[in-house]
Amino acid sequence: MQDLVGFTIALLISSFGLFLTLRRSPWLVDYLFYVIALNRGVRRVVDWMNGEFNKYSFISLTPILIGGLASVLVLYELNARSREEKGRYLRKVSFLIYLYLACCSVAFVIGFIHVGFGAVYAFGDYLAPVGLMGFAALYVERPRIIDQWCNSLAFSSLLVAGYGIYQFYTIPPWDAFWVRAVDFEGYLGELESTRMTLFSTMNERGPAAMYLGNGLTLLVLRPGTLGWLRWPSAAVILIALLLTYVRFCVIQFSLACLLLPILNRGTGTLPIVCLCVGAFVFGESLMKLLPGNGAVSARMATLSNIQDDDSFRGRLILMQNAARSSLGEPFGLGIGAHGMASRLSTVESGGGADSTGYVEALRTFGWTGLPFIMFVLYQIWVSSRQIVNRGIRDPNVYLFRAWFVSGLVGLFAFNWLFTATFFWVLAGYVVGRSGQLTSRRAKPLDNRGRISSSEKRWDAGITSPPRFR
């Protein structure tokens, strides 16, 4: 009965995603982020109502299915476009997508040999960036669609934050049921009000912090997102992020704020300086006001001597061990040998203990495959630099550059890269926008990244339908 209920809900969620795919609708990207944000919460309610935890619930597969649909649609569309149209602004993004996909396909075969079904489970996560990057490149001429996706990520982050704060104070019975079922008591704190770490609708506090950090970065660094709700939403999300006690996400967000004017010729200097001064003057006092008897303040205070932190030192040891292990693994362990997917297999040759993004990437692709992934990322960065060097004002490009560099630091702590994150939307937008420079002159944008009214007729030169043809 439990499997039937979970399967039915998963089928409904996936069916709507299939409907959007068949309609070739850009709302598929919005839907993907809402499914990522909420699917685990729905799964926990279903398990609680059934009185039994199902670790193989079909509901947890829905983000993978929706991300896969988006990727299939993008690949179809790229192949359907004429060669002439590809030459205008899609040639580079097509090349990078297929190169990334080739690396992932090889890693999938290797992973399937090592861990079997775990590779199938994990491949969906690695496939999702294809859909997000391709969608953004194909809709680069539709600033309103980009705005729509930004608003959806920000609002879904607000939902995660709002529910997380409610969870922190009330401990809903379905969440308590799940914590006991997966034996996370202690790791997530005590099942009492304000004594448990916030994890909201995610599968634990790390992914929750990463999702909240993404939404917070978007709200703070991109003007116009969510309109008048922008700063109130940012405040709520920041409180929820701090209550996860995940320091590296706070570091990544703070670093992105500092890097925005540095990497983009002083853009946004005044508001960023005001934020930094406010954080320096009032930050510690405000954190002490949060519940938990100063636990948040004490946790964040360890950032001042991070080099002596056991968690930080442990990650350095992991990286050293991975570097030695990789010498005998030229092709890596493949996809599925790390993280949640490795738990689906009884094979002991996986790298499930690897917990940093760099370690996981190295042991997944090996030292023969990782350079190709690095090449893809480098080419995306080059695209952003081309746009900035041309003097084109585009907040989406500015945001990408700050996100990219701060994310490189974040990879020391967790793997945020090979999954459906908004970074790939920004990456696809950057490559598509750069492609315009080699096809026709780039359209000037206003200070919110929208096409100026004097240049809207330029759209006639490039096919850019409201949805895929």
pLDDT in tens, 133-162: 999 999 998 889 999 999 999 999 999 999
Check residues 462 and 138 and name the one with the higher pLDDT: 138
In the chain, % of residues over pLDDT 70? 81
**Residues in CB range of 445: below 8 A, 6 or more apart:** 143, 392, 393, 394, 451, 452
pLDDT at 440: 56
Q: What is the average per-residue pLDDT within 224-233?
A: 93
* Cα–Cα dist 156/365, whole Å: 32
Domain ranges of the chain: 75-461
Please say if the pLDDT value at position 462 is more than 90: no
pLDDT at 302: 59
Q: What is the average per-residue pLDDT within 46-71?
A: 90
* Cα–Cα dist 133/139, whole Å: 10
Lowest model confidence (mean pLDDT) among 159-173, 214-228, 439-453: 439-453
- Per-residue confidence at 447, pLDDT binned at 50, 70, 90? very low
Lowest model confidence (mean pLDDT) among 63-77, 333-347, 409-423, 440-454: 440-454
Q: What is the average per-residue pLDDT within 5-32?
A: 94
Residue 446 phi/psi, 5-degree rounding, is: -80, -175
* Cα–Cα dist 130/141, whole Å: 19
Residue 198 is which amino acid? L
Count CB-CB contacts under 10 A for residue 300.
Answer: 17
- Per-residue confidence at 264, pLDDT binned at 50, 70, 90? confident
Please say if the pLDDT value at position 19 is more than 70: yes
Please say if the pLDDT value at position 456 is more than 90: no
Please say if the pLDDT value at position 215 is more than 70: yes
pLDDT at 144: 93
Q: What is the average per-residue pLDDT within 54-73?
A: 90
CA max distance for the chain:
63
Residue pLDDT, tens place only, 285-322: 677 677 665 566 666 655 556 656 666 676 677 777 77
Mean pLDDT of the chain: 83
- The radius of gyration of the chain's CA atoms, rounded to the nearest angstrom, is 22
* Cα–Cα dist 370/367, whole Å: 5
Q: What is the average per-residue pLDDT within 186-196?
A: 88
Check residues 326 and 254 and name the one with the higher pLDDT: 254
Please say if the pLDDT value at position 259 is more than 60: yes
Please give the C-alpha separations between residue 79 and each of 73, 134, 463, in angstroms, as whole numbers. Answer: 10, 12, 15
pLDDT at 116: 80
Please say if the pLDDT value at position 14 is more than 80: yes
- Per-residue confidence at 87, pLDDT binned at 50, 70, 90? low
Residue pLDDT, tens place only, 366-390: 888 999 999 999 999 999 999 998 8
Check residues 214 and 266 and name the one with the higher pLDDT: 214
Q: What is the average per-residue pLDDT within 399-417?
A: 90
